[in-house]
Chains A and B, each alone.
Chain A
Amino acid sequence: RKEVEQDPGPFNVPEGATVAFNCTYSNSASQSFFWYRQDCRKEPKLLMSVYSSGNEDGRFTAQLNRASQYISLLIRDSKLSDSATYLCVVNRGTGGGNKLTFGTGTQLKVEL
């Protein structure tokens, strides 16, 4: 079983739609959680951190459920520019926190 599991998609949605991505992780000792965005043939870029209390950044909302070891990302009012691969990421390290475990990514295609 992979440490971080995501539905690979692709998710094809019309512009303006709401789309939700889910992710599960297996290591209960995981310290911190993130969503990264990766455009085609580019490096991953941090989209947002994920907290148990839930956090929102504009059209994006992330949620963590530690008991279920489940992470979610909700994108409202999808834009064409949201088309990318979204990577669920778990940090097992402490301190420098650079030992990231990535899911395989979920591909999103927003269409006119």
Chain B
Amino acid sequence: ETGVTQSPTHLIKTRGQQVTLRCSSQSGHNTVSWYQQALGQGPQFIFQYYREEENGRGNFPPRFSGLQFPNYSSELNVNALELDDSALYLCASSLVGTSGNTIYFGEGSWLTVV
């Protein structure tokens, strides 16, 4: 619907493991941001990528890392998973130079850490 697709939609990992989440942005959008939404909370900004480089980061430790590829798709990697990393991970794409009302969210990836 929004043109932003995320995978996988659901996954279960064990504490200490690593996870990679993927996002394909809407066609023409060159900026991708990742958000973490814990149960009962609003989404929290993790980081943003523009032209394959990190362009802003929220209050998340270095074990949260990302990549953006030439086609503007993106990955979120989380190392040494902790139980508190269980959350909905949202990818949002936008076009630099536009206002916030052209931000589109994917349906998210539900991560459960056990």
Interface residues, chain A, CB within 8 Å of chain B? 4, 31-32, 34, 41-46, 49, 87, 89, 91, 93, 95-105
Contacts and interface: CB of A to CB of B under 8 A. Distances in A.
27 contacts: A41-B88, A43-B90, A44-B90, A45-B105, A93-B56, A95-B96, A96-B50, A96-B95, A96-B98, A97-B99, A97-B100, A97-B103, A98-B32, A98-B48, A98-B92, A98-B103, A99-B33, A99-B45, A99-B56, A100-B43, A100-B45, A101-B45, A102-B35, A102-B42, A102-B44, A104-B42, A105-B42
Contact of A96 (B2, B42, B96, B105): B96
B107 interface: yes
B97 interface: yes
A45 B32 CA distance: 16
Contact of B94 (A32, A96, A101, A105): A96
Report which residue of A4, A49, A96, A105 has the largest number of chain B beta carbons within 10 angstroms of its beta carbon. Answer: A96
